Amino acid sequence: MAFNVTRRKFLQTASLAAVSIPLSKVVCAETGVTKASLEPKGTMHDTTVVGGLCEMCFWRCQMVGRVRDGQLIKLEGNPKSIDNGTSICARGNAGIKLLYDVDRLKYPLKNVGKRGEPVWKRISWQEALDECGSKLKAVVDQHGPQGICVFPHGASAKYPMHYFERTVGTHNVSEASFFQCRGVRDTAYMASINEAPEEFVDMANAKVIFLVGCHFGENIHVSHTKNYIKGLQNGAKLIVADPRYSASAAKSDIWVQIKPGTDTAYLLAIMNYLVKNKKYNQEFVTNHTAGFDKFSQSIAEWTLDKAAQECEIPAAQIKEVADLLAANAPNVTIHPGRFSSWHGNDFQRGRALACLTALLGAYYVKGGWLPPKRPKLNKTSWAAAEHGNEHNLNYSGDKMQHPYSPPGTPTELIRDCAISGKPYPIKGCVVWGQNPMQTIPNQEKMKQVFKAMDFVMCVDVMPTDVTMWADILLPEASYLERFDEIKVGAAYAKAGDTEPTQYIAPRYPMVEPQFERKDQVYITNEIAKRMGHEQDIPVQTLEELVNKTLEVSKTTLASIKAEGGIHLQPGKPAGTVPEDFMVLLFSDEIAAAGFPGAPTYIPVENVPAGHARLLFGRAPVHSFSRTQNNIWLHHAMPVNPVWLNDEVAAKLGLKEGDTVGLVNSEGVKSRTTTIVKVTPGIRKDCVYMYHGYGMVNPMLTIGSGQGVDEQSLITKIAIDPESGVHGMRNNFVKLTRDGKTLDMPA
């Protein structure tokens, strides 16, 4: 400023009077301008836009938006929804802060520096697509389609994933939602009941809800949480097995403070007790299970006492839980869980949960596992094609290494092949919506994979940690700016309904994409054209894809929009147990593949002296690392404190709020520090943290370096032998303070 005096100084000096008197004479008493109200307006009178489908997580709540001057001001649950109703969670509400996040990717970027240490240059879409197309084509020409690996995640990644899998023809696809999350649960249930269980448990009508590791309240999916609370309000007894006094444990009637990794032993003892004492549902077992005799022999060793010792819980409490379940069967929820990539013995754990449900007869009953009858949709996408298993890393000849792998190829097989070049080179990498740096354990190994590539492309909305490894980085339209993904389901529309209602809710854009953000159909098709697959392109636009998917339901995007963004139609009752429904208590097929035919407990490595087991889970305000840069969510929970048992803390001389770092048993140190949460609510041999914090990429100006990235400490890799899925709770840590490493007391 050019003034030689500040306004305040000027007003304080004697000159004020000198100018103010003449001024006062000329100030007009009335003006034609009124002061704008300082009171924020609220959103009641803003324009309502229907058809939002949330993707702050993957539960896909239906929303409406309030728009003012072309700007999305607020998101709310769609009043027409019979799923989430007018509710959306913290993340859902914070969606507009992702939409308008200044750090979001805006234009195609080319890395003109080194991979991992990027120097970005904005380029045109034309140049970006030419580069992606030609580089990927060069990889396929030189090494075959198997030379490409794909790391997809989320709704927008499905279309490009199908392109690379089906049309290009690579098996090397690793979806985080399968190989680092729920895949092993799905394949364990597939092998037991021939279906993936999803979360089809009727908690609202359950007499007992049994959660093994589920931590509702910290893990939030709106309609699921609604049903859980409905169940509790209706008087359901809640049993929670968790080493930590989780949000669910805090609402429980029985908290089972189980030793991590021993869930299967616990479940086997419950089942053995039910069998030995004939407290199982004999009619269900006779009509709908196979292998009961072999199964009961196999689990016979699991007495209450043996499990009590293994799981470090009282035998009487195991009996109490088993009796409570038996007394209330079949209307009991044995929750299949969701995230299940725990200890590398999780296939057997999933089998045990499926078998326990069978012993209690809790399939296709009120309060039990009760899959809704959902509306059917078309499966429009790239045409399926058979590519043989010659280059499928999961096969050695005819034999599968991990026969119960989820779709795709187990992550570790892809990574090992990419790094070693054996049995063949993998030289091109497509990352779409996934952040493998924080979803896949052992970050150094992931870096090795990227370093081995000739070309890496990433498509995302945010500059997540993995995007630092891209050669070309493409900005994607977010879930609020594109058509996409259709949620279908069935629910009781209102209290007292005897018949369920079905719903179909496609995703509509609530606002136009800004800058040069594009959707997955545009990007994939343009790459496909450049790779010589123009004739295989199934649809020209995302809108067309959704309309074709809807065809069988006799609805269209236009018709559903006119109905308020959600189509409702009469549903069919969930029904009774189908006659051919079978639960394989003992599976000959699994046995033939060389694995235990009956659910079997496989012990995990014990905590080495001086260490604690590193446990992690979800924060209610975050979806993994995806939401860390959201300013509202960040302020709600800025760091992830490390939970430490109060007696252990006293011995270590640590108080609530002290700053600590972590170091794992392989010497890997956390890049950042966090604070201690001292509580009696965790076992002495564990520490616990929320997942997703402490990201590296400095392009994330809010989330970067906040809290500790617990994933960076997960360097020991456990692989579930049946499924090839990762187990991520086999790492052990010590705390560090002021540069000193603290040994955990015995």
Interface of this chain with other proteins, residues 461 to 500, rule: CB under 8 A: 463, 468
Binding of other proteins at residue 87 (CB under 8 A)? yes
Stretch that binds other proteins, among 96-104, 156-164, 282-290, 342-350 (CB under 8 A): 96-104
Best CA proximity match to 565, nearest among 504, 502, 494? 504
Least separation, in Å, of the C-beta of 154 and other proteins? 20
> Residue 306 carries which side chain, given as an amino acid letter?
K
Stretch that binds other proteins, among 205-213, 260-268, 484-492, 692-700 (CB under 8 A): 692-700
> Which listed residue (69, 293, 444, 738) binds other proteins by CB under 8 A?
69
> Which listed residue (94, 324, 377, 449) binds other proteins by CB under 8 A?
94
Least separation, in Å, of the C-beta of 518 and other proteins? 14
Binding of other proteins at residue 694 (CB under 8 A)? no
Binding of other proteins at residue 558 (CB under 8 A)? no
Stretch that binds other proteins, among 9-17, 133-141, 196-204, 365-373 (CB under 8 A): 9-17
Phi, psi of 489 (to 5 degrees): -175, -175
Q: Mutual orientation of helices 315-328 and 263-276 as an angle, nearest 10°? A: 60
**Tokens describing residue 515:** 């800058």
Least separation, in Å, of the C-beta of 39 and other proteins? 5
Binding of other proteins at residue 10 (CB under 8 A)? yes
- The C-alpha atoms of residue 482 and residue 509 are separated, in whole angstroms, by 4
DSSP secondary structure letters along 654-671:
--TT-EEEEEETTSPBPS
**According to CB under 8 A, which residues from 579 to 598 bind other proteins?**
none
Q: Which is nearer to other proteins, 250 or 562 (CB)?
A: 250
Stretch that binds other proteins, among 98-106, 273-281, 328-336, 482-490 (CB under 8 A): 98-106
Binding of other proteins at residue 7 (CB under 8 A)? yes
> Residue 229 CB: number of other CB atoms within 10 A?
15
CA-derived radius of gyration, the chain? 28
Least separation, in Å, of the C-beta of 82 and other proteins? 15
- The number of CA neighbours under 13 Å toward the Cβ of 265 is 20
> Which listed residue (14, 30, 33, 38) binds other proteins by CB under 8 A?
38
Stretch that binds other proteins, among 117-125, 264-272, 405-413, 736-744 (CB under 8 A): 117-125
Binding of other proteins at residue 650 (CB under 8 A)? no
> Residue 536 CB: number of other CB atoms within 10 A?
16
Phi, psi of 121 (to 5 degrees): -135, 130
> Which listed residue (84, 177, 331, 549) binds other proteins by CB under 8 A?
84
Least separation, in Å, of the C-beta of 671 and other proteins? 14
Lay out the site mask for other proteins across 504-523 (x = CB under 8 A, - = otherwise).
----------xx--------
Binding of other proteins at residue 114 (CB under 8 A)? no
Which strands sit side by side in the sheet containing 332-334, from one edge to the other?
254-256, 237-241, 208-212, 332-334
Least separation, in Å, of the C-beta of 452 and other proteins? 23
DSSP secondary structure letters along 100-118:
T-TTS--S-EEE-SBTTB-
> Residue 596 CB: number of other CB atoms within 10 A?
17
423 preceded by cis ω (within 30°)? yes
Binding of other proteins at residue 86 (CB under 8 A)? yes
Binding of other proteins at residue 316 (CB under 8 A)? no
> Which listed residue (151, 178, 179, 255) binds other proteins by CB under 8 A?
255
Binding of other proteins at residue 106 (CB under 8 A)? yes
Residue 75, classed as helix, strand or coil, is strand
Vertex 128: Cα angle to 126 and 134 (nearest 5): 95
> Which listed residue (44, 383, 495, 609) binds other proteins by CB under 8 A?
44
Distances (CA, A) of 310 to 240, 365, 549, 607, 733: 18, 33, 50, 14, 22
Contact call for residues 240 and 211 (beta carbons, < 8 A): yes
Binding of other proteins at residue 225 (CB under 8 A)? yes
- The C-alpha atoms of residue 225 and residue 374 are separated, in whole angstroms, by 20
Q: Mutual orientation of helices 263-276 and 346-359 as an angle, nearest 10°? A: 30
Binding of other proteins at residue 234 (CB under 8 A)? no
> Which listed residue (140, 239, 414, 621) binds other proteins by CB under 8 A?
621
Burial category of 286 from C-beta neighbours within 10 Å (exposed 0-12, middle 13-18, buried 19 and up): exposed
Stretch that binds other proteins, among 187-195, 315-323, 329-337, 675-683 (CB under 8 A): 675-683
Binding of other proteins at residue 43 (CB under 8 A)? yes
**According to CB under 8 A, which residues from 527 to 556 bind other proteins?**
none
Distances (CA, A) of 302 to 1, 98, 292, 308, 359: 81, 50, 16, 10, 16
Least separation, in Å, of the C-beta of 586 and other proteins? 39
Counting every residue written for the chain, the total comes to: 746
Binding of other proteins at residue 655 (CB under 8 A)? no
- The C-alpha atoms of residue 236 and residue 317 are separated, in whole angstroms, by 18
Q: Which is nearer to other proteins, 175 or 460 (CB)?
A: 460
> Which listed residue (51, 77, 361, 425) binds other proteins by CB under 8 A?
77
**Tokens describing residue 663:** 């170091």
Residues near other proteins (CB under 8 A), total: 95
Least separation, in Å, of the C-beta of 38 and other proteins? 4
Stretch that binds other proteins, among 228-236, 283-291, 686-694, 715-723 (CB under 8 A): 228-236
End-to-end Cα distance, the chain? 65
Binding of other proteins at residue 445 (CB under 8 A)? no
Binding of other proteins at residue 571 (CB under 8 A)? no
> Which listed residue (50, 64, 90, 717) binds other proteins by CB under 8 A?
90
**According to CB under 8 A, which residues from 129 to 148 bind other proteins?**
none
For residues 342, 345, 347 and 353, what is the CA-based torsion angle, rounded to 10 degrees? -80
| Structural element, H or E, at residue 133 | helix 125-143
Binding of other proteins at residue 14 (CB under 8 A)? no
Vertex 740: Cα angle to 736 and 742 (nearest 5): 55
> Which listed residue (303, 448, 679, 736) binds other proteins by CB under 8 A?
679
Least separation, in Å, of the C-beta of 50 and other proteins? 16
